[in-house]
Amino acid sequence: MKNNTVIAFDLDDTLYKERDYVLAAYRLILERYGDYVADNVKSTFLSIAKPYEAFEYFCRQVPQADIEEIKLLYRSGNIPLEDTEGAIPLLEYLKSYGYITAVITDGFSARQRAKLSSLGIDNLIDAVIISEETGFDKHTPEPFLGLMEINPDAERFYYIGDNPDKDFYYPNIMGWHTVMILDNYNYNIHIQHTLLNPSFSAKTIVTSLSAVKHLL
């Protein structure tokens, strides 16, 4: 069944929880340097939400640690992930009804593509646009224009994300339907603060990925 609607997603904290990836990466780093790390350092390290702050702390506490090696471990993308958010059922539903699916994400190419593969959803996505590959992140219109250019016959575009700082501004300007997945438990890496400028806010807010199908 042909469908002229494009459903595009953010990746981190939308199709999966980024904190799960971060914690798994931290544990990989601890496996590498575990013999040199005191228990109190391990617990503090695991509690720091922002990776590069965590890496700086770790290297201050563990002289044997090499920050460049740590960054490579983190960026490698060789981190096991589970579909805790229900991305696979939603994407399978969309494909069964002929929707065109896409991911627009900021980050390193190898890491972001490895996440899609680890989640088992790379074969359910028609187009993947990553900032490192294009040279443009979501603070610019180019990623969204790029998706429109490769789907010239599409009649409607949706963008589903979590971060009002950058996920919805340009899609709103372009007339897309924007949807924010609400962070009910404050688990996301980026806080979903309220912005005064409505241009940055999603037109619709839902509490889960599964709710997206009811908006189409």
Question: What pLDDT is stored for residue 96 in this prediction?
Answer: 95
The answer for 34, left when phi > 0, alpha when psi is -120 to 50, beta otherwise, is alpha
Backbone angles phi, psi at 107, to 5 degrees: 140, -175
Question: What pLDDT is stored for residue 194 in this prediction?
Answer: 61
Chain segment 101-112, per-residue pLDDT in tens: 999 999 999 889
Chain segment 66-83, per-residue pLDDT in tens: 999 999 888 876 788 999
pLDDT band at 3 (very low <50, low <70, confident <90, very high): confident
Question: What pLDDT is stored for residue 80 in this prediction?
Answer: 86
**Residue 174's Cα: distance from chain center in Å?**
21
pLDDT for residue 142 is more than 80: yes
pLDDT (mean) for 127-151: 98
Q: What is the CA radius of gyration of the chain?
A: 18
Question: What pLDDT is stored for residue 186 in this prediction?
Answer: 82
Question: What pLDDT is stored for residue 1 in this prediction?
Answer: 55
Question: What pLDDT is stored for residue 198 in this prediction?
Answer: 85
What is the C-alpha to C-alpha distance for residues 141 and 131, in angstroms, rounded to an integer? 12
SS (H, E, C) 9-45: ECCECCCECHHHHHHHHHHHHHHHHHHHCCHHHHHHH
Contact residues for 123 (Cβ-Cβ < 8 A; gap 6+)? none
List residues bridging with 179 in a β-sheet.
Answer: 160, 204
Question: What pLDDT is stored for residue 68 in this prediction?
Answer: 94
